[in-house]
Amino acid sequence: MAMDFGGALVEIKAGRKVARRIWSDTGMYIRQAYFPDPASVNEESPSGRLVPPFFSGTPDHPEACCWNPLAPDFWATDWHVVVEAS
């Protein structure tokens, strides 16, 4: 079911991965990041590092990069929940 960015945000907050239909060739998805990034917490940096609210990823690179929406993403109505293959 296609949704707008507001609907995608609800799904992200519920712990789901979302994507735009125009990204289907890349397999890219967006998921919520955590504050601080658990992977960055260590003895040298006990509080970790702060990360943007979203991570983008692909099946080959699940933690590829931090992501921030652009204006076209806010207005898009082609968002959907990513269904994991079982």
pLDDT digits (tens, 9 = 90+) for 24-68: 888 899 988 766 666 666 666 656 665 567 778 888 777 767 788
Position 35 in a domain: yes
Domain ranges, residue 54: 5-72
Position 67 in a domain: yes
Position 78 in a domain: no
Task: Provide the domain count of the chain.
Answer: 1
Residue 11 scores a pLDDT above 80: yes
The predicted model scores a pTM of: 0.73
At residue 47, the pLDDT reads: 60
Distance, in Å, from the CA atom of 86 to the CA atom of 77, rounded to the nearest integer, reads 27
Position 84 in a domain: no
Position 83 in a domain: no
Position 82 in a domain: no
Position 86 in a domain: no
- Sheet with 65-67, strands from edge to edge, namely 65-67, 54-57, 29-32, 18-20, 79-81
Closest CA to 63 of 17, 23, 24: 17
At residue 53, the pLDDT reads: 74
Measured in degrees and rounded to the nearest 5, phi and psi for residue 45 equal: -135, 75
- Calculate the dihedral angle through the C-alpha atoms of 41, 51, 53, 42, rounding to the nearest 10 degrees: 0
